[in-house]
Structure 1
């Protein structure tokens, strides 16, 4: 099997995560986070839906990391985000981190919205 190093030409990768934090492009971000190809910032949780809706036109869908386990996404949050034209794909945060890295390395228009594990 041949191994190839993944290149993130124009994107910010998720390097790792742990209890209460995410390491993005070499920097630690504590708490919930929004990660796009252009950067990362803190997120205030489901009540902060405006930060996600503001991504309309920049991303086609978000990978909604719901923490250590896959949980349902808040209904009002999902409906508001989808009304803005952004799809919502829920999964556990570790899976969302891995999936984000694969998709962003392919140039996909995706964001990871992550609750900490």
Structure 2
């Protein structure tokens, strides 16, 4: 097996997660959060539509991690995101973190909105 060092450019990867927290580039952050190549912010969860709509035109795909289990987005939120033309992929939070890390290592324009497990 050949292992290669991954370079993340400006984006910071998700190093780990646990009950109620995420570790981003070595720093622990509590609660739901947003992560993209330009930074990290606290997130109000699935009711915080405006924060997610702020990614329109900034990223190509938004990964939404719904906690330990996959869940549907509220219909109103999904409609707003679709009307705005933002690509959204919904999955459980561990999968969303892994997928985000892979795509930022490729230099892709992605963001992560994630609820803790």
TM-score range, shorter chain: over 0.9
Question: Which runs of 4 or more aligned residues in structure 1 lie more than 3 Å from their structure 2 counterparts after TM superposition?
Answer: none
Residue in 1 that maps onto 2:106: 106
Aligned match of 2:97 = 97
Alignment match, 1:65: 65
Tell me the distance in 1 between the aligned counterparts of 2:25 and 2:83: 31
3-state SS in 1 of match to 2:98: helix
Q: CA deviation at 1:10?
A: 2.0
| Deviation of the 1:5 alpha carbon | 1.4
Q: 1:81 corresponds to which residue? A: 81
Contact 1:31/1:116 (<8 A) preserved: yes
Q: Name the CA distance, whole Å, in 1 between partners of 2:23 and 2:38.
A: 15
Deviation for aligned residue 1:46: 1.6
* CA positional deviation for 1:91: 0.5
Aligned to 2:13: 13
User: How many residues matched?
Assistant: 117
Structure 1, residues 64-115: CA drift from partner, whole Å, max 9, x if none? 1010011111111111112112111110100000000000111111111101
Please give the alpha-carbon distance, in whole angstroms, between the structure 2 residues aligned to 1:31 and 1:57.
26
Q: Structure 1: 5+ residue runs without aligned partners? A: none
TM-score (structure 2 length as normaliser): 0.95
CA RMSD across the alignment: 0.9
TM-score of the two chains, using structure 1 as the length reference: 0.95
